[in-house]
Structure 1
Amino acid sequence: MCRVLAYIGPDLPLENLLTNPENSLLNQSLDPELHPDLQLAGWGFGAWSEHLLKPAEPLLYHRPKAAFYDDNVRGIIPSLQASTLLAHVRASGYDAGVVQADENCHPFAFDGTPWIIAQNGALPNWRRLQKELLRHCEDRYLEQMRGTTDTEFLYVLLLSLLEGNSDAEVKAAFERMLALILQAMRRLDLAALTKLKIALVTSDRIIGVNYGCGHAGETDVTGDWEALRKTDLPLSMLLEPMYVLLGRNFEDYEDSYDVDVCPEGEATSAILASEPLTENGEDWMRVEFGTIVFLRREGSTISKTVSRLDP
């Protein structure tokens, strides 16, 4: 199961976000708290900072090997800082059909859009579903697709459906995307559990989506995700929340993801993650299945909006 971490707030050393904390993203690739599998299929990040030579563009890094074996980490990470970050460690099946290459490491970024994307999810049978979905994809994005992952194809489809970059327009594009996927599944008789746990990020915004459908293509999926761990692991992972932490003074906690908890309107930083990253998990807001969360930098503070996604 992939791991995702997105951050927005004051400029911070990347090592405070990726390597120093005990439950850092890189450590999760070797020893995730909530999942038993290693993430060996690569990792990457996209970062914005006013201190970069091109502050309006994300600095992108990908490496198609286990994050904890990446010999570039000690040389690169300590020299960088970021005010917005999207990072990802990739899990995949360990067989000859899995292509481990830079092109398949998240996050994905295309020219002509401010958004980059990473996912902790899966679209089964996506190559066959393309028979129905390609007609909704714009050539300007298809021409930039270089890898062989479902996430990059979903990125193409989502960007093609976006009519603008407002929260309402992004929400509508995600709803339309799942509707088209479900239509294609029905037409091709390919209904399958589909997990869309997506982070969509630009320099001043993080959008987290926890959405999808069940084994028969149903979107009104319910259940106790923790109890389902023993009886239906895929359904459990579909229903599992994503998590958001809001607070102040994150820069004062160099070796952890702790923050000073404060009223929502006073928060200066936010993290979106696959799992709560601090011992006090009660400080983390759950992004439940069927919802979308919008985190936006407004001056020195971070606003948060949560909406239900319509099936």
Structure 2
Amino acid sequence: MCRHLAFLGPPQPLGSLIVAPPHGLYRQSWAPRRQRHGTVNADGFGVGWYAEGDPEPARYRRAGPIWADGSFADLARVVRSGALLAAVRDATEAGADGEAAAAPFAAGRWLFSHNGAVTGWPRSLAPLSRGLPPDELLSMEARCDSALVWALVLNRLRRGDDEARALADTVREVAAAAPGSRLNLLLTGGDTIAATAWGDTLWYLAEPGRRTVVASEPYDDDPHWREVPDRTLLAASRTDVLLTPLKEPSA
């Protein structure tokens, strides 16, 4: 598995959300508190953030562990944003994709992360991949299961689905093709957050009108963190958080 986080709120240094919290993503890379699958998230990390006046986010991704990157520590100290998505990647089998396999994935104004694993990969999703336009399939950033799940979500977004529906329908489609998959997905376009809890933990911290944080696990011991039930879709803005149950795919 992996750990990820999305934030909407007043601009603040990236490090105040990722590095500074006592149980932030930085610490979760070697000592997650609630991770159900895997133990060390050291096979890459990334953060995508939005700058004022620019709808397309910037990204910083690396193939190694977050704690070993001194340049990121400097960047996180001074770069500020009011919207971001960050992730640390679980230790996996060796591959050639390097940082291309590290979330967040991006296209246009969107940032995406997948916390989980697709059972039977890659054979299980071959039928779904054949439904993608060839140019979208060939444009995948990496050859891992998360990249293909992102391609499926992105295809729905480009066809006009809103972010929440694109995630929900993709989760049901992948779960039907690959039963037992863990599909905690996280998506933002800079002004809203959509996420799914499907097989691992998901939490949110909301201060209506000020900030919303959605994360694999709480980064501190604030008592206002709330756990999202499994098989649930979350749709959030700076002012509201809506939870909707997700139905299991039909047999």
Same fold (TM over 0.5): yes
Displacement of 1:135 after TM fit?
A: 2.6
Displacement of 1:179 after TM fit?
A: 4.0
State the one-letter code of the partner of 2:241. Answer: K
Q: Secondary structure at the match of 1:120?
A: strand
State the one-letter code of the partner of 1:41. Answer: D
Higher helix share: 1
In the alignment, structure 1 residue 72 sits paired with structure 2 residue 64: no
Displacement of 1:201 after TM fit?
A: 0.9
Q: Secondary structure at the match of 1:136?
A: coil
Kept after mapping to 2: 8 A contact 1:34/1:275: yes
State the one-letter code of the partner of 2:190. Answer: S
Q: Work out which of the residue numbers 260, 264, 271 in structure 1 matches 2:213.
A: 271
Question: Residue 128 of structure 2 corresponds to which residue in structure 1?
Answer: 133
Q: Which has the larger radius of gyration?
A: 1
RMSD value, Cα: 2.1
Structure 2: unaligned runs, 5 residues or longer: none
Rounded Cα–Cα distance in structure 2 between residues aligned with 1:193 and 1:274: 19
Where do 1:28-107 residues align within 5 Å? Answer: 28-35=28-35, 37-50=39-52, 55-93=54-92, 95-96=93-94, 98-99=95-96, 101-107=98-104
Displacement of 1:295 after TM fit?
A: 1.0
Displacement of 1:40 after TM fit?
A: 1.2
Question: Residue 4 of structure 2 corresponds to which residue in structure 1?
Answer: 4
Q: Work out which of the residue numbers 243, 247, 257 in structure 1 matches 2:203.
A: 243
Question: Residue 149 of structure 2 corresponds to which residue in structure 1?
Answer: 154
Rounded Cα–Cα distance in structure 2 between residues aligned with 1:158 and 1:268: 28
After superposition, the Cα gap between the structure-2 partners of 1:178 and 1:23, relative to the gap in structure 1 and judged at 3 Å, is closer
State the one-letter code of the partner of 1:287. Answer: V
> Percent of counterpart pairs with the same letter?
26
Q: Secondary structure at the match of 1:146?
A: coil
Q: Secondary structure at the match of 2:29?
A: helix
Question: Residue 305 of structure 1 corresponds to which residue in structure 2?
Answer: 242
Rounded Cα–Cα distance in structure 1 between residues aligned with 2:3 and 2:13: 20
Stretch of structure 1 that moved more, 128-137 or 269-278: 128-137
Displacement of 1:136 after TM fit?
A: 2.0
Kept after mapping to 2: 8 A contact 1:138/1:156: no
After superposition, the Cα gap between the structure-2 partners of 1:22 and 1:166, relative to the gap in structure 1 and judged at 3 Å, is same
TM (normalized to structure 1)?
Answer: 0.73
Q: Secondary structure at the match of 2:122?
A: helix
Kept after mapping to 1: 8 A contact 2:24/2:220: no
In the alignment, structure 1 residue 209 sits paired with structure 2 residue 196: yes
After superposition, the Cα gap between the structure-2 partners of 1:71 and 1:65, relative to the gap in structure 1 and judged at 3 Å, is same
Rounded Cα–Cα distance in structure 2 between residues aligned with 1:59 and 1:43: 14
Question: Residue 118 of structure 2 corresponds to which residue in structure 1?
Answer: 123
After superposition, the Cα gap between the structure-2 partners of 1:203 and 1:32, relative to the gap in structure 1 and judged at 3 Å, is same
Rounded Cα–Cα distance in structure 2 between residues aligned with 1:28 and 1:131: 33
